């Protein structure tokens, strides 16, 4: 699994993509964990723009990222969540542990 990511000012943005289910989640968790360990960011942004489907396995992906980021006193933000993944995330009450960005910014400076 190859996930695009970029780092700017200690903000690590990881673009998730495709279908996140139990089959794909293990790999995604490992890659996200490795990237956090490598860059030690203050903020980890998970971008869901290209996620076409997600079940509760995606919740575990977010929880893993939150756990890792807490260890280094950082935070997780969820961005550009399409309707289907959003419904799953909301059903789990994920906003209690990770910030959901309500609107996608038009320009990212």
Partner 1 sequence: MKCENYMELEFPSKSANEAFARSAVACFAAQLDPTLDELGDIKTAVSEAVTNCIVHAYRDTIGVVTLKCRILPDDVLDITVKDKGCGIEDVEAARKPMFTTGGEERSGMGFTIMESFMTQLKVVSSPGRGTTVHMKRKIVRRGGKA
Among 39, 55, 46, smallest CA distance to 92 is for 55
Copy the structure tokens of residue 3: 């996930």
Q: Is residue 63 at the binding interface for partner 1, with CB under 8 A as the rule?
A: yes
Give the one residue of 64, 68, 78, 79 binding partner 1; rule: CB under 8 A. Answer: 64
Q: Which one, of 81, 89, 37, 34, lies nearest residue 63 by Cα?
A: 89
Residue 59 sits in the site that holds partner 1 (CB under 8 A): yes
Residues 77-106 vs partner 1: string with x where CB under 8 A? ------xx--xx--xx--------------
Nearest distance from C-beta of residue 92 to partner 1, angstroms: 5
Count CA atoms closer than 13 A to 46's CA, side-chain side.
32
CB–CB of 28/59 below 8 Å? no
- Phi (first) and psi of residue 68, to 5 degrees: -60, -45
With CB under 8 A as the contact rule, the residue among 19, 31, 33, 100 that binds partner 1 is 19
Residues that bind partner 1 (CB under 8 A): 19, 21-23, 25-26, 29, 53-57, 59-60, 63-64, 83-84, 87-88, 91-92
């Amino acid at each position: 699994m190859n996930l695009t990511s970029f780092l700017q000012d200690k903000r690590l943005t990881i673009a998730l993509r495709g279908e996140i289910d139990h089959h794909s989640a293990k790999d995604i968790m490992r890659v996200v964990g490795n990237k956090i360990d490598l860059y030690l960011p203050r903020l980890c942004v998970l971008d869901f723009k290209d996620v076409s489907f997600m079940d509760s396995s995606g919740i575990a992906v977010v929880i893993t990222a939150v756990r890792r980021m807490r260890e280094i006193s950082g935070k997780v933000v969820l961005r550009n969540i399409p309707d289907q993944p959003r419904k799953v995330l909301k059903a789990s009450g994920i906003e209690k542990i990770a910030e959901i960005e309500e609107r996608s910014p038009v320009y990212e400076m």
